[in-house]
Amino acid sequence: MTETHGEIRLDVRDQVAVLTLHRPAKLNAITPQMTDQLTGHIAALNGDPQVRAAVLTGAGRAFCAGSDIGGLAGYDSAVQFGRRPDYCDAIHTLAKPVIAAINGPALGGGLELALGCDIRLAAGSATFTAPEIKLGWIGGGGMSALLAHSIGTSNAALMLLTGDPVDAATALRWGLVTEVLPAADLTGRAMQLATVIASRAPIAAQAAKRNLRAAFEMPLGRAIDYERQLQTICFATEDAAEGRAAFAERRAAVFHGR
Please tell me which residue in 3, 7, 112, 242 is annotated as part of the active site. Answer: 112
> What one-character DSSP code corresponds to residue 64?
B
Of 237, 233, 231, the closest CA to residue 253 belongs to 237
139: left (phi over 0), alpha (psi -120 to 50) or beta: beta
Rounded to 10 deg, the angle between the 220-235 and 202-215 helix axes is: 170
Rounded to 10 deg, the angle between the 238-249 and 202-215 helix axes is: 110
Pairing of strands 119-123, 179-181: parallel
Residue 61 to residue 57: CA distance in whole angstroms: 11
Q: Is 113 exposed, middle or buried (0-12, 13-18, 19+ CB in 10 A)?
A: buried
- Our answer to whether residue 112 is catalytic in this structure is yes
- Our answer to whether residue 132 is catalytic in this structure is yes
Residue 238 to residue 258: CA distance in whole angstroms: 5
Q: Is 82 exposed, middle or buried (0-12, 13-18, 19+ CB in 10 A)?
A: exposed
Please tell me which residue in 3, 132, 217, 242 is annotated as part of the active site. Answer: 132
Integer Rg of the chain from CA: 19
Residues identified as active-site: 112, 132
